[in-house]
Amino acid sequence: MTATLSAESPVSSVRSERIPVAVLGATGSVGQRFVQLLENHPWFRLHELVASERSAEKTYAEAADWRLDTLLPEETAGMTVKKLGAELESVILFSGLDSSVAGEAEEHYANRGAVIVSNSRNHRMDPDVPLLIPEINADHCAAIERQRKRRGGKGYIVTNPNCSTIGLAMAIAPIQQQYGIDCLHVTTMQAISGAGYAGVASYAILDNVIPYIGGGEETKIETEPRKILGRWDGEKFIDASFTISAQVNRVPTIDGHLMTIALSLCNRAELRKSTPIETIIDGIELSIESYIGEPQRLGLPSAPRNPLHYIDAEDRPQPRLDRDRENGMSVSIGRLRPDPILDLKMVALVHNTIRGAAGAAILNAELLDAKGLL
Ligand code: NAP
């Protein structure tokens, strides 16, 4: 299945002048997804490709070992890759850079007036950088004004969350908004594409599960949802107050991070007295199915019609069967049921390189454009 975003989305009109954009880290797993998803984008035109010295001055076809299931777009194949640090002309710089270089490079370009829309972890928890999931916290864009003031120009950074965090935060958002969450435990089963092409040796992952993912994966999942589901008070972000415990595993699927979640609700004793758990579950299923946010209201080109899909089958969601729903931009949820220790448990699935990375960043940039922030 191809992952072009426009097919099922409520597409807005194609513009006569599309905005020139660059991809930093264009040769990597996330960078290739950017290239794929930006082909024929109605608002953005891929203008520059940037990677390391290893790739600079080569054509993109020579530098990138193209591994996606659609053809490398012809006009992109012949573009010359620029070296990180080069002067760039684009208005938006999408970053899929390795985190060893992303922090400094993104600062460099933001301080020179560019809008950075990043996947990398480096600036996610900065006090004036929005950690955006537009369906949940589009209002966090208010922090951009403060960031621009600090930089003394029009440049700024916004980030999307860690790939598992996006699935988790979207799955729990309707529950947090309806009842409030007290605490939560999540166990992830993460696909190998999350580690980049050279990330996990086939000999290590075939016939195996690795109960560890480096780069502070568990800490990211335990902290980022609290910022996302928290609020901007005009000066700073105030985290949501629930606690999260995360355990992560690398499993031998190609794409799609699956996770099992158990949680307790706020005021559970009073709630249980007043409302049977089955009624709570029915209400949550309905709010999952009807959940929408700014991207749907604004009709952004990459927005899924339904960001959350509740699948009413006892053995779903599954990575191979459900990761490509709405071109990989929706999160699938299933098996919502009572939990004998906490209150509820369920399963969620997110396409890690689309909704969890490049697709999420493109949706963020569409939101910034729609809000007049470019
Ligand atoms: P990757 O496949 O290893 O690609 C890394 C990119 O960074 C390549 O384009 C590489 O260029 C470039 N790069 C590496 N070292 C560089 C240097 N010294 N100077 C300039 N460019 C350099 O990694 P990835 O999986 O795409 O991940 C990219 C970023 O997105 C990471 O920060 C990761 O944590 C984040 N992320 C990944 C996922 C996912 O599912 N994969 C999801 C969410 C977020 P060369 O080819 O020239 O070396």
pLDDT for the residue 261: 98
Q: Which residue among the candidates 47, 140, 257, 351 is catalytic per the annotation?
A: 257
Q: What residues does each domain of the chain span? A: 19-162+358-370, 163-352
Which neighbouring-strand residues pair with 21? 46, 92
Shortest-distance Cα residue to atom 18 of ligand 1 = 52
Is 19-162+358-370 assigned to CATH 3.40.190.10? Answer: no
Which residue from 23, 24, 27, 30 has its CB within 8 A of the most atoms of ligand 1, so it is best to mutate? 30
pLDDT for the residue 295: 98
To the nearest 10 degrees (0 to 180), the angle between helices 163-178 and 217-228 is 40
Among candidate residues 58, 80, 82, 64, the one with its CA nearest the CA of residue 27? 64
Q: Where are the beta strands (DSSP E) in the chain?
A: 19-24, 44-51, 82-83, 92-95, 115-118, 156-159, 181-190, 231-232, 237-238, 243-250, 257-265, 308-311, 331-338, 344-350
CATH hierarchy code of domain 163-352? 3.30.360.10
Any atom of ligand 1 within 6 Å of the Cβ of 50: no
pLDDT for the residue 90: 98
Number of other residues whose CB lies within 10 A of the CB of residue 179 = 22
Contacts of 10 (CB under 8 A, 6+ apart): 296, 299, 303, 305
Ligand 1 atom having least distance to the Cα of 194: 40
Q: Which residue among the candidates 163, 185, 309, 351 is catalytic per the annotation?
A: 163
Ligand 1 atom having least distance to the Cα of 97: 7
The DSSP symbol for 357 reads I
pTM above 0.85, yes or no: yes
pLDDT truncated to tens, each residue of the chain (374 aa)?
A: 333 334 334 445 556 799 999 999 999 989 999 999 999 999 999 999 999 999 999 999 999 999 898 999 999 999 999 999 999 999 999 999 999 999 999 999 999 999 999 999 999 999 999 999 999 999 999 999 999 999 999 999 999 999 999 999 999 999 999 999 999 999 999 999 999 888 899 999 999 999 999 999 999 999 999 999 999 999 999 999 999 999 999 999 999 999 999 999 998 888 878 899 999 999 999 999 999 999 999 999 999 999 999 999 999 999 999 999 999 999 999 999 999 999 999 999 999 999 999 999 999 999 999 999 99
Q: Is 257 a catalytic residue?
A: yes
pLDDT for the residue 267: 86
Number of other residues whose CB lies within 10 A of the CB of residue 309 = 21
